[in-house]
A and B are shown apart, each in its own frame.
Chain A
Amino acid sequence: MTGTGQPIRVVVVDDHAIFRSGLKADLAADIHVLAEAATVEQAIAAVSAHTPDVVLLDVHLPGGRGQGGREVIAGCSGLPGQVKFLALSVSDSAEDVVSVIRAGARGYVTKSISGHEISDAVRRVAGGDAVFSPRLAGFVLDAFGTAEVAVEDELDKLSARELEVMRLIARGYSYKEVAKALFISIKTVETHVSAVLRKLQLSSRHELTRWAADRRLL
């Protein structure tokens, strides 16, 4: 997590003005909203102009080729520096969650999240970590299977430790509680979650493909 000294600069992308203003009011004082955008084109322009630390990105957006948030991430891929995306949606369907993560988002939260939690999530993403909601952890376990494997560094499978972390997050544990339950540091929990995110983004494993195909993700 970043220190308290430096404010985190964010761009809010959502096509509902009411939601944007509500979100801005909810965000903590150390998070500065640089710009807002309501469509794919506006979002790409705003992100390119400001290169913020974090983009709060609605999954469903008008404009572009109709692919919403994914298209924004793709359109901003050439930017210098590290712009990170935190996906935000009313939807918690597998299609939306997994496809936006695979497009490159560092985390996924639903819009019903509280102001405190969303600020936390923004700080976490700005610090380079991943943000997993219980539901996203559930999708990961569903897609990768719950059988444990010994191999630590295989893209196609989760290690035993990563499985434990995912299970606890799916059970509604916060990172702090996961760390306490497994007798590891919060930093280690974050490392595990980031590793899982990487696997989710890069894996082309057979089961993941089939799981995605079953849900018409591909």
Chain B
Amino acid sequence: MSVKMYRSPERMVAGVCAGLAGHLGLRVGTVRAVMAGSCFLFGAGLVFYAWLWILVPLAGDDDPSGTPQPADDGAPRLKLFRPAPAGGIRAGGGAPAAGSASAPRGASVGLREILIGGALVVLALVLFSARTGVNLDLGTVVPLGVISAGAVLAWMQLDATRRVGLLNAAKMDTPWSIARFAAGIVLVVAGVLIIVTGSGSWALVWASVVASLAVLAGVGLVLAPWALKFWRDFQNERAGRIRETQRAEIAAHLHDSVLQTLALIQKRADSPQDVSRLARAQERELRSWIYQDEGKDPGKLVAGIQAACAEVEDLHGLPVEVVSVGDAELDEATRALAQATREAVLNGVRHGGTAVSVYVEAAGSGVDVFVKDRGAGFDPGAVPPDRLGVRESVVGRMQRNGGTAAIISSTEGTEVRLHLPARPAQADAPAGNGKATNGGDKK
């Protein structure tokens, strides 16, 4: 199972190295050294760092799409019952720099260092170009420096997952679409420039390109933080609304079930049997609500047996555990099997007086059901033949439907074994071929 990478809130600059180290299981120092070292390989480290900064969300921040994730891994819906963190719904408007607010100290340190570093890089570039003979006048370098500083500032302020959300919303999630988008902008700008300058003079076109790009970039830089802030507020509000609906739904369910049961339990506190029965029924209900097994289909045999066992449990307050492998369609024969199972469980609970285990196995050859209790057991042969109960409702019922039933009892408990062969075999099996070795009654 893959784990999402997050930027660490304990950060020097943007938490990329710490996050990467945590993700890869390396030491933070090592990752930082490698990252710093690779900056000297034509700035690869810088580019990689910036790329991760933009794309990797900060730990503890919201899911970028704004929708609550119900089940990412093994611990899904149960989480709903843990108390929500204080102020579970993030205040939308208030925080202008929500992303960096989680680690104010780290962010301010990072900002200072970035400014110093940026200035140093610009200085180095200027010196380098002067040495190689390329003539860069201060009039170009200074505005460029100012613009990059402004960009860094604006983006750091919004340092969060919002950019990812924004990019996703514009379908900018693949490199190809980004390239297309960039190419489109270049074409539009080139076209506009050619119209405006009206001449083929490269010098003029070049100057206009720079000028218009500067204007575009400036406007973009000023507006981007605002646009992103609005986008963020919108996403927060939407996520909040979804969460609120979910919470209301859960609250309603808990009120109808758990609170009612708890009230009943308090009333019946003097009767341990009632209390345990109520608790058990509530547990079963809550369990089925939280952990629905997608593999099981309602309206089939296993669901039928489970319902029958739940009913017995409610009646007698003793736990009945059902384990099933495979499932079968409900038809006349399997319905009878479910009924016989119910009788066997009832008998086990009533006379065994202990918890009962039920195991259902449905395979190609037929369906087997085993019902086991740990009571004192009984001698099936000693039961008077005029008693009906088990003989009629379990053994007889199975035989009439082409199945078999056996009852094995010892001092350590009783087990009822039911077998129903698959359909084709059932057609030529005469009724009453059951090897009901010990048909009997406990009553």
On chain A, the residues within 8 Å of B361 by CB distance are 141, 146, 167, 170
- Shortest beta-carbon distance, A204 to chain B, in Å? 14
Asked if B78 and A137 sit within 8 Å, CB to CB, the answer is no
With A93-B291, A135-B323 in contact, is A67–B74 under 8 Å at CB?
Answer: yes
Known: A138-B359, A171-B370, A172-B359. A68 touches B295 (CB 8 A): no
Q: B412, A177: Cβ atoms under 8 Å? A: yes
Q: Is B372 an interface residue (CB 8 A)?
A: yes
Query: Could you tell me if A66 and B291 are in contact, using CB atoms closer than 8 angstroms?
Result: no
Residues of A within 8 Å of B79, CB to CB, are 60
Q: Is B84 part of the contact surface with A, judged by Cβ < 8 Å?
A: no
B293 is an interface residue with CB less than 8 A from chain A: yes
* Complex Cα spacing A218 to B370, Å: 32
- Contacting residue for B294 out of A68, A142, A147, A215, CB 8 A: A215
User: Which of B71, B72, B294 has the largest number of chain A CB atoms within 10 A?
Assistant: B294
Q: Which residues of B contact A211 (CB under 8 A)?
A: 295
Q: Knowing A65-B3, A146-B361, A167-B361 are in contact, say whether A60-B75 is a contact too (CB < 8 A).
A: yes
Which residues of A from 71 to 107 have beta carbons under 8 Å from B?
91-96, 99-100
Instruction: Report the minimum CB–CB distance from A160 to chain B (whole Å).
Output: 14
Residues 64-84 of chain B: 1 if any A CB is under 8 Å from the residue's CB, otherwise 0? 000000011111101100100
Q: Which residue of B lies closest to A143 (CB)?
A: B325
Interface size on B, residues (CB 8 A): 31
Q: Does B185 contact A (CB under 8 A)?
A: no
Contacts A66-B72, A171-B372, A216-B71 known; A94 to B293 CB distance under 8 Å? yes
Q: 8 Å CB contacts to B: which residues of A155-191?
A: 167, 170-173, 177
- In the assembled complex, which residues on chain A have CB atoms less than 8 Å from the CB atom of B415? 171
Q: State whether A95 and B74 are in contact (beta carbons under 8 Å apart), knowing that A65-B3, A146-B361, A170-B359 are contacts in the complex.
A: yes
Contacts of B82 in A (CB 8 A): 62
The interface residues of chain B lying within 8 Å CB-to-CB of A171 are: 323, 357, 359, 370, 372, 415
Q: How far is the CA of A65 from the CA of B287 in the complex (A)?
A: 25
Contact present for A59 and B74 (CB under 8 Å): yes
User: B1 at the A/B interface (Cβ < 8 Å)?
Assistant: yes
Please judge, given known A-B contacts A135-B323, A170-B325, whether A214 and B295 are in contact too, CB under 8 Å: yes
Q: Please, what's the 1-or-0 string for B1-44, where 1 marks a CB less than 8 Å from any CB in chain A?
A: 10100000000000000000000000000000000000000000
Check if A52 is an interface residue, CB within 8 A of chain B: no
Q: How far is the CB of A24 from chain B (nearest CB, A)?
A: 22
Quick one: which of B71, B78, B363 contacts A60, CB cutoff 8 A?
B78
| Smallest Cβ-Cβ distance to A144: which chain B residue | B325
Complex CA–CA separation, A172 to B412 (angstroms): 13
Q: Which among A62, A93, A141, A211 has the highest number of chain B CB atoms within 10 Å?
A: A93
B157 sits at the interface (CB 8 A):
no
Interface assignment of A123: CB less than 8 Å from any CB of chain B: no
Bound-state CA distance A33–B428 (Å) is 61
CB closest residue in chain B, given A211:
B295
Chain B nearest CB: distance from A87 CB in Å? 11
Q: Complex formed: what's the CA distance from A146 to B363 in Å?
A: 7
A184 to B91, CA, bound (A): 65
Which residues of A are in contact with B by a Cβ distance under 8 Å?
59-60, 62, 65-68, 70, 91-96, 99-100, 112, 134-135, 137-138, 141-142, 146-147, 167, 170-173, 177, 211, 214-216, 218
| Interfacial residues, chain B to chain A (CB-CB below 8 A) | 1, 3, 71-76, 78-79, 82, 287, 290-291, 293-295, 319, 321, 323-326, 357, 359, 361, 363, 370, 372, 412, 415
Can you list 27 residue pairs at the A/B interface with Cβ under 8 Å? A66-B72, A68-B74, A68-B75, A91-B78, A93-B291, A94-B295, A134-B359, A135-B323, A138-B323, A138-B359, A141-B325, A141-B361, A142-B325, A146-B326, A146-B361, A146-B363, A167-B361, A170-B323, A170-B359, A171-B323, A171-B415, A172-B321, A172-B370, A177-B412, A215-B294, A216-B71, A218-B1
